[in-house]
Amino acid sequence: MKYYELVAPCHMGLEAVLKREIIDLGYDITEVADGRVSFQGDADAVCRANICLRTAERVLIKIGSFTATTYEELFQGTKALPLDEFIPKDGKFWVTKASTVKSALFSPSDIQRVMKKAMVEGMKEACNTSIFPEDGEEFPIRVFLYKDEVTVALDSTGVSLHKRGYRRLESQAPIAENLAAALIMLTPWHADRILIDPFCGSGTIPIEAAMIAANIAPGVHRSFNAEKWTHLITPKNWADVRQECEEEVDLNVVTDIQGYDIDPSVIEIARINADKAGVGDLIHFQTRDVADLSHRKKYGFIITNPPYGERIGDKSNLYSLYRTLGQRYKALDDWSMYMITSFEEAQDAIGKKADKNRKIYNGMLKTYFYQYMGAKPPRRKDRTND
């Protein structure tokens, strides 16, 4: 059985959540760095990580690493990589993305050009041939340079893992699916607790919560680059993991997950997306203004991605919106609220400083995940009218 060093990139600030996911899948962590977690795994692990990880961006199979401060060192280090152990003679390969941080080599396009040439030369020697038709399956390669350490890896995923396949329709500036899942997993919410998103948009947070509640693997119904790499991972590997995931789904789980939005057309989009995800019956969507947010029960959760500067033009309107959210939250009985935003005056508008906040980079945008902790409910046997 062959083992690989696997690398899973994620949003910066969410490495701990992804690390916990990988450990829960049964794999050993080898490194945690800014924006990525590395672990050991076999062919099944490539399948399981792609299909099951909720918070990762993709799953990469590490080919090798070396130090390079000049383009000559980059060429020679790349040429020496064991590419032939991963890519067949007819494989089409290229550097689909190069990123560089605190390194002497800083031009992605030059790095891509030099490495492609070096890869061809290395494959020529390894395969004892002078011609590469590159008319077979595709093997996109991703490269990271950090403090002159070059890491080279195959992209086993393809389209980013946040693309679950259910969000065919979108509202304005929707939150990424993997980020939504990570926010939920940063809270103590469980399927038996109430969850409301008063700014649900196309439904991503409620849908991800329902998928977690029903134990639906996020990638079970989509495809991946590595499914075509049958010399590395067999169709049986994929089929076994998918079957295992399907057997663990529980659509009979009892939930109280709700999504509100002021725009009825957006609510209709959310319903369509939830049905596509297979969780339409687990979520109640409703056209409702945040000013009407209420619930008679105790110990619920608000988890939300409200509008902020990039999505709403008038700052005074934005402040008023957050102030209303704060007022409605205050009226709820022993609830918790978790909110991601880049609006700098959010806490002031809410009217209360968050118990905790966590810095998360949503792409290049710095946001904060504000966490307002409500009281813990009593043990279930002691609950009466909650």
pLDDT at 382 > cutoff 70: no
CB 43 within 8 A of CB 232: yes
Place of tokens 């990880």: 53
- Which CATH number belongs to the domain containing residue 322 in this structure? 3.40.50.150
343 within a domain of the structure (yes/no): yes
In which band, very low, low, confident or very high, does the pLDDT at 384 lie, cut at 50, 70 and 90? very low
Residue at 342 is within a domain: yes
Q: Quick one: average pLDDT of 36-45?
A: 98
Average pLDDT over residues 103-119: 97
Do 126 and 196 lie in one domain? The reply is no
Whether 47 and 125 share a structural domain: yes
Residue 48 in domain: yes
pLDDT at 314: 63
> Where are any strands of DSSP class E within the chain?
4-9, 29-33, 36-41, 60-67, 92-101, 138-146, 149-155, 195-197, 257-261, 283-287, 301-304, 336-341, 356-362, 365-372
Residue 170 domain flag: no
Averaged pLDDT, 201-205? 95
Q: Calculate the average pLDDT of the chain.
A: 94
Mean pLDDT of 154-180: 89
Q: How does pLDDT run across 340-359, given as a tens digit for each residue?
A: 999 999 999 999 999 999 99
3-state secondary structure of 262: coil
- Exposure string of 320-330, with b = 16+ CB inside 10 Å and e = fewer, is ebbebbbebbe
pLDDT at 172 (0 to 100): 67
Domain hosting 185: range is 177-216+229-247+255-382
Domains held by the chain: number: 2
Structure confidence at residue 132 as a pLDDT band (50, 70, 90)? confident
Compute the average pLDDT of residues 34-46: 97
Whole-structure pTM value: 0.94
